[in-house]
Amino acid sequence: MAEENNVKDADELEKEHFVRIVNAFKYYRLYSLNRIRNTERYYDELPDHHRSIIPNFRDHLSKVRNCIETNFHLIKLIIQNTEHMFENKNHGPVENGAICMLQGEEGLRKHPPTSYDMDRVKTTLKQFVRDWSESGRNERASCYDPVIREIRRRFPPQMCDPSTVFVLVPGAGLGRLAYELAKLGYSCQGNEWSLFMLFASNFVLNKCREANAHKLYPWIHQWINNKTSSDQIEPISFPDVNPADLPANSNFSMAAGDFLEVYTEPNSWDCVATVFFIDTAHNIISYVETIWRILKPGGFWVNLGPLLYHFSDMPNESSIELSYDDVRQVILQYGFQFEKEETGVKTTYTQNPRSMLQYQYDSVFFVARKPA
């Protein structure tokens, strides 16, 4: 009986979490318009002679407002029918009386989502640039191409039946790397834990059936470091390719859930490909341990990314933040053999190419093998 109650609690918590994320997406428009309204109010308070020097400023704000409407239209498509998107779960309808119910505008105004959740919505929009737009091409070339190249080298699609090679991509984001591997014929599964990402990847992978069918303004929330006002309202089209364009009988799936909880079956994957993922761990050793366990003997772990430990400075969260040197010792201790290792690999992450601020990571790239 006690166990039954626990299960029910877990289900309720999951449902609340689901509703919280939908509410964050729904709040996007009000939240973003509010930001503009504040600027507009301040502009109105400027002395007349200052306002007259920048006569186009108000016009720019109204352009940003239109961009928000376009983004919100897309967001509504993203969250449409998400309650039915999981094969093993149905999250709707949410009953009245639930602690955290789906809110209308009025409710959202009274109980707004947290700024953390609203940041996640904005990050999710930028993720479309990285994974599914023409302007993300260079970023993908630096982050995904080396990984794809190493997998192809070890499992050449012309020399083996790639559908018998099982590749796992934990922390798959919007799924482009996993899609590219499936396109080469590998049996590929992406795994993702964040509902923000899962809603967006579900939209692009399962609902977009035509290249460049959608438009989005990913940079409108960047109010600083713009060289020209038009940079802020620069659109992208996506997806740059038709996501349905996969070989017949391809084996491609996305699995929702925490990597550490979903993947417990030993010796089941030929390759694990992690890109900008291993630093999402509370305890990075548990990631290494799980990858070691789930890889078949002779299997490969291909990794690329920095060590921007996600929980490092988060209130109420703990993590161990090992240096790369320590991480590689852990990897060796488990028995992996490094077949390739490079540091200082120049990479970016959802970087606005026009911004006056450019972040670049000196990422580490390695291929480690679990001996046969």
Q: Which residues sit at the interface with ligand SAM, rule CB under 6 A?
A: 130, 143, 170-173, 191-194, 197, 258-260, 275-277, 280
**Least separation in angstroms between CB 279 and ligand SAM:** 8
Q: Output 232 or 352, the one with its CB closest to ligand SAM.
A: 352
**Whole-number Å distance between alpha carbons of 262 and 5:** 22
β-pair type (214-216, 236-238): antiparallel
Q: Output 108 or 302, the one with its CB closest to ligand SAM.
A: 302
Cβ contacts of 125 within 8 Å, gap of 6 or more: 71, 216, 218
Q: Output 67 or 192, the one with its CB closest to ligand SAM.
A: 192
Backbone angles phi and psi of 251, in degrees to 5 = -115, 90
Q: Output 142 or 355, the one with its CB closest to ligand SAM.
A: 142
**Whole-number Å distance between alpha carbons of 300 and 370:** 6
**Least separation in angstroms between CB 195 and ligand SAM:** 9
**Least separation in angstroms between CB 275 and ligand SAM:** 4
Closest residue to ligand SAM: CB criterion: 171
Give how far Cα 69 sits from Cα of 28, 60, 80, 173, Å: 10, 14, 16, 25
Q: Output 103 or 192, the one with its CB closest to ligand SAM.
A: 192
Beta bridge partners of 166: 187
**Whole-number Å distance between alpha carbons of 260 and 291:** 9
**Least separation in angstroms between CB 233 and ligand SAM:** 24
Q: Give the burial string for 189-222 (b: 16+ CB within 10 Å, else e).
A: bbbbbbbbbbbbbbbbbebbeeebebebbbbbbb
Which two tokens mark 110?
């009274």
Q: Output 64 or 147, the one with its CB closest to ligand SAM.
A: 147
**Least separation in angstroms between CB 101 and ligand SAM:** 25
Question: Tokens 């790639």, residue?
Answer: 162
Q: Output 75 or 143, the one with its CB closest to ligand SAM.
A: 143
**Least separation in angstroms between CB 315 and ligand SAM:** 18
Which two tokens mark 116?
């953390």
**Least separation in angstroms between CB 361 and ligand SAM:** 11
| Residue 2 CB neighbour total at 10 angstroms | 6
Which two tokens mark 175?
């799924």
